[in-house]
Chain A
Amino acid sequence: SQQGEEDPQALSIQEGENATMNCSYKTSINNLQWYRQNSGRGLVHLILIRSNEREKHSGRLRVTLDTSKKSSSLLITASRAADTASYFCATWGSWGKLQFGAGTQVVVTP
């Protein structure tokens, strides 16, 4: 079964707005990673957050991790049309491999 599940499945916003998506997982992790996939392309790594970290930033991206709730969130501030993509969380744990969620499809309209 899937380790990570994203919510919402799809998100439609206007340029300039913030986009927030959540990821929940089931078992203890070593780290959690967020990836972006543009249509017809490969995945691109965005941020890796370790289990002992609570928040990380990269440009307009902010990731939080709450290990007590087994959840993470990805916030994209001041979204742009180029942010239109699918966003995946992936967890690394004792099972020794990266397990991906089903993704959140984000559409940013100009």
Chain B
Amino acid sequence: DTAVSQTPKYLVTQMGNDKSIKCEQNLGHDTMYWYKQDSKKFLKIMFSYNNKELIINETVPNRFSPKSPDKAHLNLHINSLELGDSAVYFCASSSLPLHEQFFGPGTRLTVL
């Protein structure tokens, strides 16, 4: 009965490749997020969707493109991967934007 799930858990790939990370929540929440956590554990929001609509789009390279096919899913596609994209990416959801957030287990992306 996982609340927020992400796949894959680990992703190792070469520079220049395109990859996707998938996220699903079964909490019935309207709002979903993507965060990036760097090597110093600093967590920064990338995108937020509310009811499939993009509401937050931080200063993120346009190589990153989120897609929300429905309220329960928010996927992240990354084109032309660079070394600096290596990080842990977390998906999260909340019932409303200012409420507590529920996080997925994270996807550790390593770009070689």
- Chain A interface residues toward B at CB < 8 A: 2, 30-31, 33, 35, 37, 40-45, 48, 86, 88, 92, 96-100, 102-103
Contact = CB atoms under 8 A, between A and B. Distances in A.
Contacts of B98: 30-31, 92
13 contacts: A31-B98, A35-B103, A41-B106, A42-B4, A42-B105, A43-B43, A43-B103, A45-B100, A48-B99, A48-B100, A88-B43, A97-B97, A103-B41
B104 interface: yes
Interface band, chain B: 20 to 34
Contacts of B106: 40-42
Interface in B12-48: 40-45, 48
A99 B45 CA distance: 8
Contacts of A31: 98
A33 to B, nearest CB: 6
Nearest to A37: B41
Contacts of B90: 42-43
B112 interface: no
A66 B45 CA distance: 26
Given A40-B106, A42-B92, A43-B90, 9 more contacts: A30-B98, A41-B105, A42-B106, A45-B101, A45-B102, A97-B48, A97-B97, A98-B45, A98-B101
A33 B103 contact: no
Nearest to A2: B42
Contacts of A30: 98
B56 interface: yes
A97 B45 contact: yes
A42 B42 contact: no
Given A42-B4, A42-B90, A43-B90, A100 B43 contact: yes
Contacts of A44: 103
A42 B90 CA distance: 7
Contacts of A100: 42-44
Contacts of A92: 97-98
A63 to B, nearest CB: 13
